[in-house]
Amino acid sequence: MGKVKLGIIYYSSTGTNYKLAKWAEEAALEVGAEVRVLKVQELAPEAAINSNPVWKAHVEEAKDVPIATTDDLEWADAIIFSTPTRFGNISSQMKQFIDITGGIWAQGKLTNKVVSAMSSAGNPHGGQEATIKALYTSMMHWGAIIATPGFTDRSIYKAGGNPYGTSVTVDQDGKMVEDVEDAVKHQAKRTIEIASWIKKGKE
């Protein structure tokens, strides 16, 4: 059986979800997966980005990260999404990316992809769970196999106990409140493990 191919697709304005994506990548490489870290297309006007020094700095930090395409979805056996909360829903940038998948969805090319999701918000109850579950609704339409972390590892409790996917609160200084690195890495490894079972069964 070949390596599990994992796409980590994120949107980040100030860097939090980029950091989550990079932790997921570290874990995936540790277990021998083939990994692509990809950002979705930015939609915000340049004026908005330039008016926020932290946002502008992150755009520069991530300038070399490839932009996700539907070809990446076809390539992947498993996909981890990471998006900030926007009023209890996924960011518009991530939503647009999902909205352009209709063509390959209609061809059945998203069926049985193993998917998992992560999120962030500025408050502990700022919509992280709702955001992840909203994304999973689209995944159900894909016919994807959703791999949640549940409570399958102690790291999930340390990270705040979100069974739907790792989520984190970001304070006014842009720092993560909860200790989520281990939970992200567990979620990534679990997603890959489940994808390996599916891949082995299909082959």
Segments making up each domain of the chain, as ranges: 5-202
pLDDT attached to residue 173: 86
Task: Give the chain's residues under pLDDT 50.
Answer: none
What CATH number was assigned to the domain covering residues 5-202? 3.40.50.360
Token pair for 193: 């493990």
Q: What is the C-alpha separation between 168 and 178, in angstroms, rounded?
A: 6
Q: What is the C-alpha separation between 11 and 62, in angstroms, rounded?
A: 11
pLDDT attached to residue 203: 61
pLDDT attached to residue 181: 98
What's the angle, vertex CA 66, arms to CA 180 and CA 175, rounded to 5? 30
pLDDT attached to residue 117: 98
CB 155 within 8 A of CB 165: no
Token pair for 110: 């998203």
pLDDT attached to residue 174: 87
Q: What is the C-alpha separation between 32 and 189, in angstroms, rounded?
A: 10
**Statement: the pTM of the whole predicted model exceeds 0.85:** yes
Would you call 32 helix, strand, or coil by DSSP? coil
